[in-house]
């Protein structure tokens, strides 16, 4: 498989940064699942209506939320792992947030079907079979 899935994952990340839910949906299957530990939006979001809520939750809790891609790699035919930096300020607290995360994107027919966000990079590598 070519690097097409990497490009799709990168476009999805750009759509999050632009707060463009329609561009995000263009990268995803109808039944997308997002699993995130990021507080205060930590949750599992299933389906498009839930993803709309995720975008609203981001706007409410951290309006300047931004993802910076450090590296993205194809893993097998249907997964991409992306190493990221997250930055934001809490709306209510004003506290700056900055941390590394690793996202695993599972693909079906060239579209993202599931996103798993990990704070622990070793755990993410294990999830895609790159670490025992």
Domains of the chain as residue ranges with CATH: 4-127 (3.10.450.50)
> How high is the pLDDT of residue 106?
97
Q: What is the pTM of this model?
A: 0.90
CA quadruple 50, 60, 58, 11: dihedral sign:
positive
Average pLDDT over residues 109-122: 95
Question: Could you tell me the pLDDT band of residue 1, with boundaries at 50, 70 and 90?
Answer: very low
Q: What is the pLDDT of residues 23-74, one digit of tens each?
A: 999 999 999 999 988 655 567 889 999 999 888 988 888 889 999 999 999 9
């Amino acid at each position: 498989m070519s690097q097409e899935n990497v490009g799709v994952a990168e476009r999805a990340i750009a759509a999050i940064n632009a707060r463009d839910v329609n561009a995000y949906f263009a990268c995803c299957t109808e039944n997308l699942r997002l699993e995130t530990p990021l507080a205060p939006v930590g949750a599992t979001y299933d389906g498009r209506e839930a993803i709309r809520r995720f975008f609203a939750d981001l706007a409410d809790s951290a309006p300047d939320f931004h993802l910076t891609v450090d590296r993205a790699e194809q893993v097998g035919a249907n997964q991409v792992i992306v190493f990221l930096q997250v930055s934001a300020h809490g709306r209510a607290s004003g506290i700056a947030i900055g941390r590394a995360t690793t996202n695993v994107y599972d693909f079906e027919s060239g579209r993202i079907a599931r996103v798993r966000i990990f704070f622990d990079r070793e755990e993410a590598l294990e999830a895609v079979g790159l670490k025992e």
